[in-house]
Structure 1
Amino acid sequence: MAVYHNPIVLQRADPWVLKSGDDYYFTASDPEYDCIAIRRAKAIDDLQSAPEHVIWRKHDSGPMSKYIWAPELHRVNGAWYIYFAAAEREFEPSGLPTHRMYVLENTDDDPTSDHWVEKGRIVTPIDSFSLDATSVVLDGVQYLIWAQKDPAIEGNSNLYIARMANPWTLDTEPVMLTRPEYDWECVDFLVNEGPAVLRHGDKIYVTYSASGTGVPYAVGLLTADRGADLLDPASWTKSPVPVFKTCAENGQYGPGHNSFTVSEDGTQDLMIYHCRNYTDIKGDPLFDPNRHARVGVVTWTDDGPDFGVPLPDDLWTPTTTDVLPADGGPLAGTPAAPRNA
């Protein structure tokens, strides 16, 4: 079994890791929420020190000018796509941020190049708070899964799925996969968000995160059969309990918003997630920068994936007294990742 050292990248929440060929590509929410950057490395443990290429920055005003959240990098039909959420102003009358989902495209072989093009907003039937778009191509069909607020349903967000006409356009009506209903999904906020797809054998799994982004944050699981109609809610089974959650014994709190990749030799599935190693959060947890990216090995049982528990850190991390530099660069004492302009 591969052995990794945590955290793999400091101060990067909502981590997304894609292995393409021999390279790992990493992107995540920047703690300043003002840009999208990509790192590339040959090994998971080398991502912290890998150069960080800023490929897009927020607009000065308008719909993509605030709170750039949760970018994901995907390879579809020979092109690269980044799905992300962005806001125009602080809050809607409902009290939610004004996020909508957007897409960037790059047809170069190298996704760290400067040739990214804005493809625009992903339009959904309800014009409401929406974020955390992820995509998967199954048997030649591309699907989008995302989190969105339905004004008719209590809570912040539910998870939806739709087939896509192209990487930035829905082809079918959204279908709700899950809404916050269990106690563990409704702590501080009623939230289902951050979906990620894992394939294994004849099963399709979707993990998601629930509750407020502090200590209660935890990961849930949906399961469907490969070949089933994924747009039929009846095809999906939802776990009534979280499958990955806070482990106080290991000093790991509020794990979630994960992605999946594979080990360097391709033999093991890996879960990439963010987590804090303290509970004394000052102010809004969203603006505490120390949700670090971490990795765990997924094991397989007759009942499906076993994500274990968040493992203790064995590398240096910032403390609550460390302050993020104004330029968004690494803290003093951290292994620096060179960053382009």
Structure 2
Amino acid sequence: MKVNFRQKCLVALSVLLILPMGKVTLAVSDHNDFYNVVMQDGADPWVYKHTDGFYYFTKTTGGNVTLWKSAQLTTIDAAPTKVVNTGGSGIWAPELHYINGAWYIYYAMDDGDNVNHRMHVMENTAADPMQGTWQYKGQITDSSNKWAIDGTVLQVNGGLYFIWSGWEGNVNVRQNLYIAHMSNPWTIDSERVEISRPTYSWETNHSPNVNEGPQVIINGEVISLVYSASGSWTNDYCLGLITADISSDLLNPASWNKSNQPIFSSGNGLYGPGHHSFTKSPDGQEDWIMYHVAKYNNAGWNREVRMQKFSWNADHTPNLGIPVDPNLPITLPSGETMHARYEAEKGTFGGDAYASSSPKGSGGLKAGHIDTPDSYVEFSVDAAAAGEYILLARTANGTAGGNWSNFQLSVNAGPSSPFYITNKGWENWGLSTARVQLKAGMNKLRFTKGEGYGEIDFIDIKPL
């Protein structure tokens, strides 16, 4: 028996699971929630919502700057990309800013030796940063020309400021936060001013001492500079807060006041949250923080990207709370399209594959044991219109050796392609994504054995 089921997101399922005693259960349902993994691999996320309604995202890739363009926050991982070649090496924590009608990428780069990390900037005057030509504008520095990373731009009261993390001298004793005035988006025209150095116990519990990843957000008359502290390679990595009045002299260190406690740290089984960015929901009504965390306890620099909504304290500073429980769904950002969810245990199994218990799975069950060449789990998707769709799967990989694994994913019996799953342990669920081309009407999505092993909790389907 088949049921044609139209949904708000224009995707529906027409396969029913017929259970004993004649009970019939739909294998799909509309969902307005997600589990807060945005990317299953990556660090130093930067996301910017432009006036065109799109989100522009970037992160540390090491060898270049890669941009993603997405209409929705939860689908960034599967969004179209553009690689901007920068030359050099050690490309860290790029940020994309729109200033005075042009696009600017700020990024740290060295020549193969970390001691030579400095901030650099590129410009693109096209309306869409995925188009046009990126031109190198040069190194951006003050007269000291010391080690510098994690640069960001503050636009306030008609003024332009550059804020970054740097060394006081030529040796890595500690990372301080500095601010300087800018005469244009690629030129600093003042001396650097130190506005923070690691002093509290939660900032100095690892060596070298670190203040880095500064991000600014303004609410009312308060500028909140939220920064990362402690060792980025440890579970102690966290976010601290420095504030200034919007009308104060921002080049005066006395204008900045540091909180004596972190405002966002490990919790709910997530470790080392840090190096974040702030953005708005698609309808502009909600505030969201995107951040990286370790993939598992003591994972060090093996990190993933998550996000969650936050509120405001009475003093106009951000109330970030604690990292959301990774095994509890949270409501989609307001204005995002709902998606069709297919619980994996309700798929069609072949070979040795079958559904089994999942203590942290969305429905208490998962699809697994896809361990032999003839094993598979298959989903039947009825698309209301032909086109490109986004597939988001809650996946896990605990294959011995710690390597990535993959399924082979085929659509309508066509050629298969790898569907990658990071390795962070069984029942430590992550997110795997793909863009799939569906025809109008019935489609078959099949996951078969690839490299290593994996499990699926559910899949979500959204129009691109």
Fold in common (TM above 0.5): yes
Give per-residue Cα distances to partners, 1:165-207, cap 9 Å, x unaligned: 1111101111111000111011223000000001111111000
Q: Do the aligned residues in 2 keep the contact of 1:10 with 1:317 (CA within 8 Å)?
A: no
TM-score, length-normalised on structure 2? 0.64
Q: CA deviation at 1:131?
A: 0.5
The separation in 1 between residues aligned to 2:120 and 2:94, in whole angstroms, is: 10
**2:58 counterpart (27, 30, 42):** 27
Q: 2:324 corresponds to which residue?
A: 311
Q: 1:210 corresponds to which residue?
A: 229
**1:164 counterpart (168, 182, 185):** 182
Residues 171 and 318 of structure 1: CA distance in aligned 2, closer, same or farther (over 3 Å): farther
Bigger shift: residues 122-131 or 14-23: 122-131
Q: Note the 1:266-277 alignment, pairs <5 A.
A: 266-277=284-295
Higher strand fraction (1 or 2): 2
Please state whether the residue corresponding to 1:278 is helix, strand or coil. coil
Residues 309 and 166 of structure 1: CA distance in aligned 2, closer, same or farther (over 3 Å): same
What letter corresponds to residue 225 of structure 1 in structure 2?
D
Residue 300 in 1 paired to residue 312 in 2? yes
Residues 292 and 114 of structure 1: CA distance in aligned 2, closer, same or farther (over 3 Å): farther
What letter corresponds to residue 331 of structure 1 in structure 2?
Y
Q: Do the aligned residues in 1 keep the contact of 2:89 with 2:112 (CA within 8 Å)?
A: yes
Q: Note the 1:84-103 alignment, pairs <5 A.
A: 84-92=107-115, 98-103=116-121
Runs (4 or more) in structure 1 with deviation over 4 Å come to 317-320
Residues 108 and 91 of structure 1: CA distance in aligned 2, closer, same or farther (over 3 Å): closer
Please state whether the residue corresponding to 1:316 is helix, strand or coil. strand
Q: Do the aligned residues in 2 keep the contact of 1:196 with 1:259 (CA within 8 Å)?
A: yes
Q: CA deviation at 1:128?
A: 2.2
Q: CA deviation at 1:5?
A: 3.2
Q: Do the aligned residues in 2 keep the contact of 1:192 with 1:208 (CA within 8 Å)?
A: yes
Give per-residue Cα distances to partners, 1:39-61, cap 9 Å, x unaligned: 1111111112112221x2342xx
Please state whether the residue corresponding to 1:191 is helix, strand or coil. strand
Higher relative contact order, chain-length normalized (CA < 8 Å, sep 6+):
1
Q: 1:116 corresponds to which residue?
A: 134
Please state whether the residue corresponding to 1:234 is helix, strand or coil. helix
Q: Do the aligned residues in 1 keep the contact of 2:147 with 2:170 (CA within 8 Å)?
A: no
Which runs of no fewer than 5 residues in structure 2 stay unpaired?
A: 1-31, 328-393, 407-417, 423-431, 437-464
Give me the identity figure in percent: 39
What letter corresponds to residue 66 of structure 1 in structure 2?
S
Please state whether the residue corresponding to 1:101 is helix, strand or coil. strand
TM-score, length-normalised on structure 1? 0.86
Larger Rg, first or second structure (1 or 2)? 2
Q: Do the aligned residues in 1 keep the contact of 2:122 with 2:134 (CA within 8 Å)?
A: yes
Please state whether the residue corresponding to 2:131 is helix, strand or coil. coil
Q: Do the aligned residues in 2 keep the contact of 1:155 with 1:191 (CA within 8 Å)?
A: no
Q: Do the aligned residues in 1 keep the contact of 2:46 with 2:59 (CA within 8 Å)?
A: yes
**1:79 counterpart (102, 111, 114):** 102
Q: Do the aligned residues in 1 keep the contact of 2:404 with 2:421 (CA within 8 Å)?
A: no
The total of aligned residue pairs comes to 313
Q: Note the 1:147-158 alignment, pairs <5 A.
A: 147-151=165-169, 155-158=173-176
**1:52 counterpart (61, 72, 81):** 81
Q: CA deviation at 1:67?
A: 1.1
The separation in 1 between residues aligned to 2:94 and 2:212, in whole angstroms, is: 14
Q: Note the 1:137-152 alignment, pairs <5 A.
A: 137-151=155-169
Please state whether the residue corresponding to 2:202 is helix, strand or coil. helix
Q: 1:16 corresponds to which residue?
A: 46
**2:241 counterpart (210, 214, 221):** 221
Which runs of no fewer than 5 residues in structure 1 stay unpaired?
A: 60-64, 93-97
Give per-residue Cα distances to partners, 1:253-284, cap 9 Å, x unaligned: 00001111111111121111111231243xxx
Give per-residue Cα distances to partners, 1:74-116, cap 9 Å, x unaligned: 0000000010001112343xxxxx2100001000001012510
Please state whether the residue corresponding to 1:172 is helix, strand or coil. coil
